[in-house]
Amino acid sequence: MKPANGSAASMNTLLTRWQHSVTQAATDLRRLSDTQARRRPARGTWCVKEIVGHLIDSAANNHRRFVEAQLQDTLTFPGYAQDAWVTGQRYQEAAWPSLVALWASYNDHLVHVVRAIPPAVLQQPRPAHNLDELGWRPVPRSEPATLGYLIEDYVAHLEHHVAQARRLAGQDPSGA
């Protein structure tokens, strides 16, 4: 997968899509009862509450990455133990409306952060990165990556998990 260039026009399109995805998903998720959101589809899988919790964790980790990437010449960041974070925070027991509100608010803030990043910083090729390990859609270590691509990858990951949560909740309009 070739990393996108992070041009101003493509970033504005991405930001609009990101905001729309979060707004619509938050509206849909708020319709679920706590019981629906905590129902585990199968042993060893996340319930909708845990998926939203994972998206909060992803927002927190990527927030740091989006800021630090502006201060360094690489896109090399520590990872995190996703399952352990979800388990350790006991998202299944958290107040459902608060989880949805936190997730939506965090993403609103991330959109604000990304809007403030200069286009040249978004487009700067970074030969040193570990998006082969951290990326949802990995970039080979032998290819340069951009902060713009990291942001696009974050949004694609978010949309993937929102679709997963919708399917679990029976809200998937595609019927998949």
Mean of pLDDT values over 42-69: 97
Cα-Cα-Cα-Cα torsion 20, 24, 27, 32, nearest 10 degrees, comes to -140
Separation of CA 14 from chain center: 13
**How confident is the model over 78-137, as pLDDT tens digits?**
999 999 999 999 999 999 999 999 999 999 999 999 999 999 999 999 999 999 999 999
The CA distance from 166 to 135, in Å, is 23
Q: Helix or strand or coil: residue 70?
A: coil
Candidates 1.10.490.10, 1.10.1060.10, 3.40.50.1370, 1.20.120.450; CATH matching 8-169: 1.20.120.450
Q: What residue type is assigned to position 52 of the chain?
A: V
